[in-house]
Structure 1
Amino acid sequence: MDTTPPPSRPATLTAPRLVERLIQGQATSDGAGVRLTRLLTQDLQRRLDPFLMLDLFGTENPGDYIGGFPDHPHRGFETITYMLQGRMRHRDSAGNEGLLVPGSVQWMTAGRGVIHSEMPEQQEGAMEGFQLWLNLPGRDKMREPWYRDIATAEVPEWQGEGVTARVIAGATHGVQGAVQRDATEPLYLDLHLAPGAVFTQPLPAHHNAFVVVYRGELNVAETLVRTRRMAILANTPGSDGVLLRAGEAGARAILVAGQPLKEPIAQYGPFVMNTQQEIFDAVNDFRAGRLA
């Protein structure tokens, strides 16, 4: 007798969010010439608080990624690197080291400061993934750094009708994610949808949220979102969540949401603080070798 539980049904929403704006992203490069698409740019930081940046890197050309991201500093926020394809080795000034492989996550809280590198551990084949920057509240910006490497098998999953949700942070349909944060309450889901499949996610109306499609097409409420596009979701009073429906070829997408901090943002490259004086202090500490 088959004792496998039937797939869960999506939650019912009464007022799903509409798409406020579609973002195509900016082609750019970072590190030692790694080519990527920057979807969440600095001009969107206030609108998508507490999220500061989102990069999508994806190529089969080793020349676009082989230089990697040599030693560089961070202070004042968290980075979440999620690998879809390829292998990336990371090391930092505190002696931490790990290997990112398809489906794995590296969650780093820079806190008062680290110097780290992220270098490809391959010379051919596809390299693809996301890096998201999540702000820290002012009270936590100078905390001790923290790291967690989350193996592919350690990312919790929820199964629905034609839907698999990998729960990197937050929770969906009773499944708790790999990481939780009290101040920003991030939700980070990697969604795999069969053709025509529907996924719903309850969300507080005041949380900022966006969807990025990286395979196929999605209908978000009644708006079509194509591959490599980001849909910013409207914070409509009374809205109760997100409704997604995959196109004819199915879809893969990330859904990200969080509680805005509503704090001042002062940024200078890899340092994100609340005041310009704190930025000056970060630069001076880096120059004096106090981040290592």
Structure 2
Amino acid sequence: MTAGKGIMHCEMLETESIEGLQLWVNLSRRDKMCEPSYQEADESELLKAEGDGVKVTIIAGTCLGETARTITRTPNYFLIVELGRGKTLNQEIPDGWNAIVYVLNGTVSIGNTKITRFQAGILTQNGELRVESSKRSQICFDGWKTNRWACSAIWIICYEHSWRSKTSLWWRQKLQKWVWSRQRMGIKDQQLIIS
């Protein structure tokens, strides 16, 4: 999803709990007021790559020589990586990028640092990232090109979070508040996208 000049977004879930990860990347000044857009893909439609005990679902960016079809205005990686026991992922982090590794299952090492389930490693150096697994592990790797803003990305982790349905009145009130705030900012055109 690209929020651009404004988007109202709602996720209606079929179950009471969810496991999910979201990476919100700040747009460059040039793209701040772009038209909102939304891309959706089922698990079966996401690009997969595999090599030497490493399986990768490539949601955005490039890994193991494969590039996702996802269109992003800010260059980024969003990878779900499964590492077999004793296997290694080597992933390039371009200059001027930030990156983070979040361990979903297992234990991995980056240099001399071990990261275990539900822990994150924030990477401060560019170049080649080397993630090694001591046992079967699953990680989420995210990288994004930074811009001049202090906050380049917000990472949201929802794991087994219970969602409560909101009433239609609650949603109408939220929508009206959103419309009023856009009008105060002088934005006349409205777009509502609900998924």
Normalising to structure 1: TM-score of the pair? 0.51
1:112 aligns with 2:5: yes
Q: CA-atom RMSD, angstroms?
A: 2.4
TM-fit CA distance, 1:147: 0.7
Work out the CA distance in 2 between the residues paired with 1:175 and 1:132.
20
Q: Say yes or no: does 1:233 pair with 2:130.
A: no
**CA contact under 8 A between 1:168 and 1:189: conserved in structure 2?**
yes
Deviations 1:214-273 (A, max 9, x none): 1111111221001111101122xxx5210011122x1101111121111366xxxxxxxx
Within 2, Cα distance between the matches of 1:131 and 1:263? Answer: 20
Amino acid at match of 1:225: I
Per-residue CA distance 1:105-129 (angstroms, 9 max, x = gap): xxx1111112221122124xx5201
Per the TM alignment, residue 283 of structure 1 is displaced from its structure 2 partner at its CA by: 6.6
After TM superposition, the structure 1 = structure 2 runs for residues 115-126 of structure 1, keeping only pairs within 5 Å, are 115-123=8-16
Does the Cα contact within 8 Å between 1:205 and 1:241 map onto a contact in 2? no
Equivalent residues in 2 for 1:11-26, closer than 5 Å: none
Q: Residue 68 of structure 2 corresponds to which residue in structure 1? A: 177
Residue type at the aligned position of 1:263: W
What is residue 284 of structure 1 aligned with on the other side? 181
For the structure 1 residues 180 and 119, does the alpha-carbon distance in structure 2 shift closer, same or farther, using more than 3 Å as the test? closer
Structure 2: gaps (5+ residues): 152-178
Paired residues for 1:255-266 under 5 Å: 255-263=141-149
Task: Tell me if structure 2 keeps the 8 A contact 1:110–1:145.
Answer: yes
Question: How far apart, CA to CA, are the structure 1 residues paired with 2:183 and 2:21?
Answer: 26
Q: Is the 8 A contact 2:50 2:64 kept in 1?
A: no
User: Residue 221 of structure 1 contacts residue 242 of structure 1 at CA under 8 Å; is this kept in 2?
Assistant: no
Deviations 1:35-71 (A, max 9, x none): xxxxxxxxxxxxxxxxxxxxxxxxxxxxxxxxxxxxx
TM-score (norm: length of structure 2): 0.75
- How far apart, in 1, do the equivalents of 2:93 and 2:150 lie? 25
Distance 2:145 2:69 in 1: 18
8 Å Cα contact 2:25-2:144 kept in structure 1: no
Matches within 5 A, 1:128-277: 128-181=19-72, 184-235=74-125, 239-248=126-135, 250-263=136-149
Q: Which has the higher contact order (CA 8 A, sep 6+)?
A: 2
Q: Could you tell me how far 1:286 is from its partner in structure 2? A: 6.0
Counting aligned pairs with the same residue, the percent is 28
Change (3 A) 1:286 1:117: farther
